[in-house]
Amino acid sequence: MIESVEVEKGEASLVRLRTRIVGEAHPALKLPPGLKGRYLWVERIYRGRLKPRKGEFVVLTHEELKGLLEHGREPLVPGRAFKEDVDADGHSEVNFEGDVLRFSVAPHRGATLRSLEYRGKEFFMGKGEYLNVNYIELGGVDDHIESGKYGGALSSLKYEYEVDEGEIRLTGRAKGFEIEKAINLERDFPLLTVRTSFKARKKAELNYWMRMAVRGVPGRSVILLPARDGLVRERYHFQYLDSLFRGLEISRMSLPGILVLDEAEGVSLLAVFSRLPENVAYRSYGTFFTVEPAFERAQLKKGEVSQCVLGLIPGTFYSSSRFHLGVFDFLEEAMRNKLVSSLVTVESRAPELLLKGKRISYSRIGEFGETHLWKLDVDTEERDLEEASLLIGGESYGIDGL
């Protein structure tokens, strides 16, 4: 609210407003502690009649509030993790930096994986779309336990957290569950793992689904969903009415994963889940699209734990079928050019990369439910990949660039 106004006249007036902070500009934005009731002088240029008067309300920008907010980078693990408000919501996110991958998590807002950056390409961060009276979409991956409705109890939950070398562990309580999240970034391999556990405080039904809001480039973003009757390929087109009336829902997944391709920037992102989702929904919005895997409801006894793991692996090449999804990239390391690749397959035998006439076997990272996660790294040049192919269970698959 404006307490006083000073105006320097000219064609456009420079206006100095003495403001008192009375509350959030949107229910989804939480005012940082200690801000309410504080006074702040703000200088703005106004042309004509929009100039506010004493007693009226104004919305303050992040820039204007900067002086009252905690600022700058606060190191948590030197060279590895730091606190900083990267999405300009007034609260610091916890940020991790690996050799090729960076991520941010927002403990104050549902422990949302807010940002994932690979080689300078941001997968999630939105500009803040006002989707509802209680929800602003900033992009990212968050958790839900209420049916069909985003922005529910978990999205606004505040988590406690601890950080060490390459991992952040977050804890929160909501709706009869103790929730633990552990987000881990591999140091020398582009793999981010998000492990989410729900422990029932009493007998409860868990209806878990996650929502990945991915920045979309109309016509140039593609999502690949492996279904039992073939690979479903959906290209992102902004259509306003789409988000109101329909989305694509696939309840016949053959693999617990999806592949997101950004043809505009030549980057792909493999997302793997530890369980086969009951269905995966896709919806398009103005500047982003969502992928929403929903898992079968679980009846939990008191003290029982249900866990879901999400693996996120970016790359610049990819390979896909209804039986496998994979990404490939080259990392420079001590003057060597290293090809790294991750695959998720239905087939339990190790896949092989046929490269320059040689067969190179993948090594197992782990089992994700009924499926298998593999990795490979080998010294080679990018041009060699053009002729390469994947051998999985006696079938040969090509490798595509973007």
Within 10 angstroms of residue 193's Cβ, the number of other Cβ atoms is 19
Q: Interface residues for another protein in 46-85 (CB under 8 A)?
A: 46-50, 52-53, 56-61
Q: Interface residues for another protein in 303-322 (CB under 8 A)?
A: none
Q: Say whether residue 338 binds another protein (CB under 8 A).
A: no
Q: Say whether residue 219 binds another protein (CB under 8 A).
A: yes
Per CB under 8 A, the list member of 3, 6, 24, 332 interacting with another protein is 24
Longest dimension (CA), the chain: 79
Q: Which two three-digit tokens encode residue 345?
A: 């397959």
Alpha-carbon distance 145 to 166, whole Å?
A: 28
Burial class (CB in 10 A: 0-12, 13-18, 19+), 32: middle
Q: How far is CA 50 from CA 3, 129, 380, in A?
A: 17, 24, 62
Q: 112 vs 221, which CB is nearer to another protein?
A: 221
Q: Say whether residue 41 binds another protein (CB under 8 A).
A: no
Alpha-carbon distance 78 to 166, whole Å?
A: 11
Strands, sheet with 39-46, edge to edge from the N-terminal-most edge strand: 2-8, 13-20, 39-46
359 three-state secondary structure: strand
Least distance between another protein and beta carbon 10 (Å): 15
Q: Say whether residue 334 binds another protein (CB under 8 A).
A: no
Least distance between another protein and beta carbon 83 (Å): 25
Q: Per-residue x/- mask for another protein, residues 222 to 261, rule CB under 8 A?
A: -------------x-xxxxx-xxx----------------
267 contacts 259 by C-beta, under 8 angstroms:
no
Least distance between another protein and beta carbon 132 (Å): 6
Of 101, 123, 164, which Cα lies nearest the Cα of 261?
Answer: 123
Alpha-carbon distance 189 to 313, whole Å?
A: 9
Q: Say whether residue 127 binds another protein (CB under 8 A).
A: yes
Least distance between another protein and beta carbon 239 (Å): 5
Least distance between another protein and beta carbon 287 (Å): 5
Name every residue whose Cβ is closer than 8 Å to that of residue 79 and which is 6 or more positions away in sequence: 97
Q: 9 vs 53, which CB is nearer to another protein?
A: 53
Per CB under 8 A, the list member of 121, 169, 220, 375 interacting with another protein is 220
Least distance between another protein and beta carbon 219 (Å): 3
Least distance between another protein and beta carbon 116 (Å): 21
Number of residues that bind another protein (CB under 8 A): 43
Q: 101 vs 213, which CB is nearer to another protein?
A: 213
Q: Which two three-digit tokens encode residue 339?
A: 């090809």
Name every residue whose Cβ is closer than 8 Å to that of residue 93 and which is 6 or more positions away in sequence: 83, 84, 85, 86, 87, 104, 105, 106, 107, 114, 115
Least distance between another protein and beta carbon 392 (Å): 26
At 316, the amino acid letter reads T
Per CB under 8 A, the list member of 119, 286, 350, 377 interacting with another protein is 286
253 contacts 228 by C-beta, under 8 angstroms:
yes
Task: List contacts with another protein (CB under 8 A).
Answer: 22-27, 46-50, 52-53, 56-61, 127-134, 218-220, 235, 237-241, 243-245, 263, 285-287
